């Protein structure tokens, strides 16, 4: 299947980066090269672009998409997780960059390729790995996690109000046979949710599948641990643009951006700061940038997208 993914908040992200034609830019979630293409378009021969993604299909697709610029600017495409940006840049001999883009969540390609096991709409093996070099799959979580751990994952990452019942049903079902497919998991979730609740709030499996995917790929943990490092890598006036699709992701980005803008830990009644913590820059987006009505109409998957931008001092 051809890698296809419509980049969300594309115009707003490119504008938010304030691209300098001789700058160095990193896309930590390269995907099919949607944002990357328009970053490279704005770079001169002195510019440099580094694209990182852990999905082999994305790496291949982005390489083809960026071919028109390969002779014009220096482009490095690397298969890894964006948490490794500091190491990747060090190996490339780069000490600072002028912009970083993260477009979080699952690509349309991953969702629309049944055998990847991300979607609850088609019966397929329980996989959900963003990096297929990883051994652990969603099947392992569903079949091996204790009931209390399943409950925690579904409650915290899926914000699912029937998490306890779903976890219990999963544990009961797997006593009889190993749960191997998305279809089997769908049936179990459906049986755990009251009929009246199933008719509201979208597909009954949406939140549980999201929770398992986040746990498997450690998405929130990696995000939490990476933002400070990425801000430290920015050159003066450099910007980081992060697009989230989940309220938990957005809260993490909002909190860490704010802390980098105002890191002071002194009690509010102190007349002046004595902690010595210095601001690293400013939050450009006091409120997140949301998709326009036109984009929502053109791309339904942009519905929950939020863009936040931070600028280094």
pLDDT tens, position by position, for the chain (313 residues)? 445 557 899 999 999 999 999 999 999 999 999 999 999 999 999 999 999 999 999 999 999 999 999 999 999 999 999 999 999 999 999 999 999 999 997 888 888 899 999 999 999 999 999 999 999 999 999 999 999 999 999 999 999 999 999 999 999 999 999 999 999 999 999 999 998 888 776 889 999 999 999 999 999 999 999 999 999 999 999 999 999 999 999 999 999 999 999 999 999 899 889 999 999 999 999 999 999 999 999 998 899 999 999 999 9
Confidence at residue 268, expressed as pLDDT on a 0 to 100 scale: 87
**Who contacts 240 (Cβ-Cβ below 8 Å, separation ≥6)?**
99, 100, 101, 102, 227, 230, 231, 234, 309, 310
Confidence at residue 98, expressed as pLDDT on a 0 to 100 scale: 98
Domains by residue range for the chain, with CATH = 10-108+219-312 (3.40.50.150), 120-217 (1.10.150.170)
**CA distances (Å), origin 222, targets 82, 89, 214, 230:** 8, 18, 10, 12
Task: Work out the mean pLDDT of the chain and round it to a whole number.
Answer: 95
- Number of other CB atoms surrounding residue 251 within 10 Å: 12
Confidence at residue 200, expressed as pLDDT on a 0 to 100 scale: 74
Confidence at residue 287, expressed as pLDDT on a 0 to 100 scale: 97
The answer to whether the beta carbons of residues 45 and 13 sit under 8 Å apart is no
Confidence at residue 5, expressed as pLDDT on a 0 to 100 scale: 57
Dist. CA 188–CA 203, nearest whole Å? 13
Alpha-helix runs per DSSP H in the chain: 10-17, 34-41, 56-65, 85-91, 108-112, 138-144, 147-158, 163-176, 182-192, 195-198, 206-217, 219-233, 247-261, 293-298
Count, residues in the chain: 313
The answer to whether the beta carbons of residues 51 and 66 sit under 8 Å apart is yes
């Amino acid at each position: 299947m051809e890698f296809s993914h419509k980049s969300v908040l594309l115009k707003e992200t490119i504008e938010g980066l304030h691209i300098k034609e001789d700058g160095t830019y990193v896309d930590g979630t390269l995907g099919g090269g949607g944002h990357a293409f328009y970053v490279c378009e704005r770079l001169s021969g002195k510019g440099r672009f580094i694209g990182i993604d852990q999905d082999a299909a994305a790496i291949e697709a982005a390489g083809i998409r960026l071919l028109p610029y390969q002779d014009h600017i220096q482009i490095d495409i690397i298969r890894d997780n964006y948490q490794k940006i500091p190491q990747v840049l060090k190996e490339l001999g780069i000490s600072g960059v002028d912009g970083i883009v993260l477009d979080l969540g699952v690509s349309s390609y991953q969702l629309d390729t049944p055998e990847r096991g991300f979607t609850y709409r088609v019966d397929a093996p329980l996989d959900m790995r963003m990096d297929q070099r990883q051994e652990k799959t969603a099947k392992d979580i569903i079949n091996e996690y204790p009931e209390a751990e399943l409950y925690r994952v579904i409650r915290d990452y899926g914000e699912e109000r029937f998490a306890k019942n779903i976890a219990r049903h999963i544990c009961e079902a797997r006593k009889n046979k190993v749960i191997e497919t998305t279809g089997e998991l769908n049936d179990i979730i459906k049986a755990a949710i009251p009929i009246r609740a199933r008719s509201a709030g979208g597909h009954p499996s949406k939140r549980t599948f999201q929770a398992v995917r986040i746990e498997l790929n450690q998405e929130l943990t990696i995000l939490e641990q990476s933002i400070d490092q990425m801000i430290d890598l920015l050159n003066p006036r450099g910007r980081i643009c992060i697009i989230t699709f989940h309220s938990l992701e957005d809260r993490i980005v909002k909190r860490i951006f704010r802390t980098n803008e105002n890191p002071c830990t002194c009690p509010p009644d102190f007349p002046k700061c004595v902690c010595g913590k210095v601001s690293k820059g400013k939050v450009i987006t006091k409120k997140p940038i949301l998709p326009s009505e036109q984009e929502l109409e053109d791309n339904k998957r942009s519905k929950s997208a939020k863009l936040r931008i931070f600028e280094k001092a």
